[in-house]
């Protein structure tokens, strides 16, 4: 009875750990996406602010606009690299978590990952529509 009781506690702790990892990954990706959108807005907003406050001439605007476009491309590249690194970290931890799970937990873990995949697909679709 004691062994069975401890096994259940260990299984619950493992499940709690998995939920924490997945929740952290979901929140991290959501924050990165939000910051990425802000970075795209930064490019436009900063360009407009400089244009207005500095009273740039049309010639200056024409010469400076490529610098802002390049900065926007740099931000997007950094965002892609950060997201790739985050996803790599999530994959690595998932491999480690899966090694520790019982067959029953693996079934639930697969369902959890599928639910998360669907969630992100739905969010991506919603984001493209807005």
In a domain, 113, yes or no: yes
What average pLDDT does the structure give for the chain?
82
**Total count of domains within the chain:** 1
Round to whole Å and give the CA distance between 109 and 97. 9
List for the chain the helix, strand, coil content (%; round to 5): 95, 0, 5
pLDDT at residue number 55: 94
Residue 5 — very low, low, confident or very high, per pLDDT cuts 50/70/90?
low
DSSP 101: -
Residue 40 — very low, low, confident or very high, per pLDDT cuts 50/70/90?
low
In a domain, 86, yes or no: yes
pLDDT at residue number 129: 46
Q: Angle at which helices 103-129 and 58-100 pack, to 10 degrees?
A: 160
73-110 burial string, b = 16+ CB within 10 Å, else e?
eebeeebeeeeeebeeebeebbeebeeebeeebeeebe
């Amino acid at each position: 009875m004691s062994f069975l009781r401890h096994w259940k506690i260990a299984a619950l702790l493992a499940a709690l750990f998995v939920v924490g990892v997945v929740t952290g990954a979901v929140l991290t990706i959501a924050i990165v996406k939000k910051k990425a959108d802000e970075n795209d807005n930064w490019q436009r907003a900063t360009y407009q602010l400089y244009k207005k406050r500095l009273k740039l001439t049309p010639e200056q605007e024409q010469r400076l606009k490529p610098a802002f476009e390049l900065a926007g491309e740099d931000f997007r590249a950094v965002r892609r690299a950060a997201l790739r690194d985050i996803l790599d970290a999530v994959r690595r931890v998932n491999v480690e978590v899966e090694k520790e799970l019982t067959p029953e937990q693996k079934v639930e873990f697969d369902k959890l990952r599928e639910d998360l995949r669907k969630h992100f697909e739905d969010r991506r679709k919603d984001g493209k529509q807005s």
